[in-house]
Amino acid sequence: MRLVWLLLVVWLSLVGCAGGGHHPDQPRWIPATHKVAAGETLYGISFQYSLDYRRVADWNGIRPPYRIHPGQRLRLYPPGGHAVELARAQQPRAASSPSSAPATPARTAPMAVPEAGQPQRSAAVPSSGGTTAGGVRSPAPRAATPSSGGAVQWQWPLEGAILTTYNASNSGRRGIRIAGNPGQPVYAAAQGRVVYSGGGLIGYGRLVIIKHSDTFLSAYAHNRTLLVEEGESVKAGQQIAEVGNTGSTDRASLYFEIRHNGQPVDPLQHLPKRKL
């Protein structure tokens, strides 16, 4: 009998480890409003709740360059909306195939891309490039390059074995986890503009978010060091960070997401094919 119990304990331990480590948990529900904290950006807040940043901006009457300030209350659902409408707002829209340009989504109001020299800014972040509580440099103003509406040409952000794959039914696996060594270079998966660089999103550790077009974002989590700042334009293949184990992870690795219209999509459907 003791042997049976011992085997059961071992089996449960193996099952628990099969996921390959921890993943950043995304909220299971969305509050009516979000109170902006110092260092937060509209892009980062929208990313946290899997919402399209253009919708959040529209619901709150915020126009480019999407400036927000600490203490501001952001509405996370349409004005006059109900819970059912919020649920619909979270539903993913049909994504285009990886090789084709994304279809232009319907909008309630035009959302222009920030003009050059007017990057989307964090709430009350010093412009001198200080240090945040997480040891990450606060962003200094940089000129932003308007994003293109064409197809995004993706490439792998890190060379390494895939530890876990995308799982739409698991809120902690809305991306892929790639094995790496501490300090290993993390590269931009496509050209774009950095819209978040910091450690303020719970579970993601030191995180970089890049805007590639009006509809596509990519995210790089658990980094040891961040090498780019908000508003900075990056090229495909440019090093943006170093692999680390910050946030909810048990080993050095990169957690990588692609968002389309605010919703996570399977990165393996967009990245070049390779042997897993």
- Where does the pLDDT of residue 35 fall: very low under 50, low under 70, confident under 90, or very high at 90 and above? very high
pLDDT tens, residue by residue, 68-88: 999 999 999 888 765 434 444
| pLDDT exceeds 80 at position 19 | no
- For the chain, the DSSP string reads -HHHHHHHHHHHHHHHHTT-S--PPPPSS--SEEEPPTT--HHHHHHHTT--HHHHHHHTT--TTT---TTPEEE-S-TT--HHHHHHHHSPPPPPPTTSPPPPPP-SS--PPPPTT-----TT--TT--B-TTSPBPPPP---PPPPSS------S--S-EEE---TT-TT-SSEEEE--TT-EEE-SSSEEEEEEES-STTT-EEEEEE-SSSEEEEEEEESEE---TT-EE-TT-EEEE-B--SS-SSSEEEEEEEETTEEE-GGGTSPP---
Angle at 27 between CA 22 and CA 29, to 5 degrees: 150
Residue 68 maps to a domain: yes
CB atoms within 10 A of CB 31: 10
Residue 148 maps to a domain: no
Residue 62 maps to a domain: yes
The rounded distance, in Å, linking the Cα atoms of 114 and 63 is 9
Its pTM stands at: 0.67
| pLDDT, average across residues 94-98 | 37
Residue 48 maps to a domain: yes
Kindly state whether residues 166 and 259 are assigned to the same domain. Answer: yes
| pLDDT exceeds 70 at position 144 | no
pLDDT, position 126: 35
The sign of the torsion formed by the CA atoms of 169, 175, 178, 180 equals negative
pLDDT, position 131: 34
Kindly state whether residues 172 and 259 are assigned to the same domain. Answer: yes
User: For position 62, which CATH number holds?
Assistant: 3.10.350.10
Q: How far is residue 125 CA from its own chain's centroid?
A: 20
**Average pLDDT of the chain to the nearest whole number:** 75
User: For position 253, which CATH number holds?
Assistant: 2.70.70.10
* Domain-ending residue, one of 24, 57, 86: 86
Kindly state whether residues 167 and 257 are assigned to the same domain. Answer: yes
Cis peptide before 65 (omega within 30 of 0): yes
- For 206-229, the DSSP string reads EEEEEE-SSSEEEEEEEESEE---
State the total domains in the chain. Answer: 2
Whether 101 contacts 149, CB under 8 Å: yes
Whether 266 contacts 193, CB under 8 Å: no
The rounded distance, in Å, linking the Cα atoms of 25 and 48 is 10
Whether 42 contacts 72, CB under 8 Å: no
**66 is in which domain, residue-wise?**
33-86
Whether 225 contacts 67, CB under 8 Å: no
Q: Which residue has the higher pLDDT, 50 or 129?
A: 50
Residue 221 maps to a domain: yes
Q: Rounded to whole angstroms, what are the CA distances from 249 to 57, 85, 183, 186, 244?
A: 32, 34, 16, 17, 9
* Domain-ending residue, one of 45, 60, 86: 86
Residue 170 maps to a domain: yes
Question: Which tokens is 81 given?
Answer: 């909306």
pLDDT, position 250: 87
- Where does the pLDDT of residue 173 fall: very low under 50, low under 70, confident under 90, or very high at 90 and above? confident
| pLDDT, average across residues 183-203 | 95
* Domain-ending residue, one of 86, 119, 149: 86
Kindly state whether residues 80 and 179 are assigned to the same domain. Answer: no
Residue 54 maps to a domain: yes
pLDDT, position 274: 81
pLDDT, position 152: 95
pLDDT, position 176: 96
Whether 190 contacts 212, CB under 8 Å: yes
Residue 213 maps to a domain: yes
Total residue length of the chain: 276
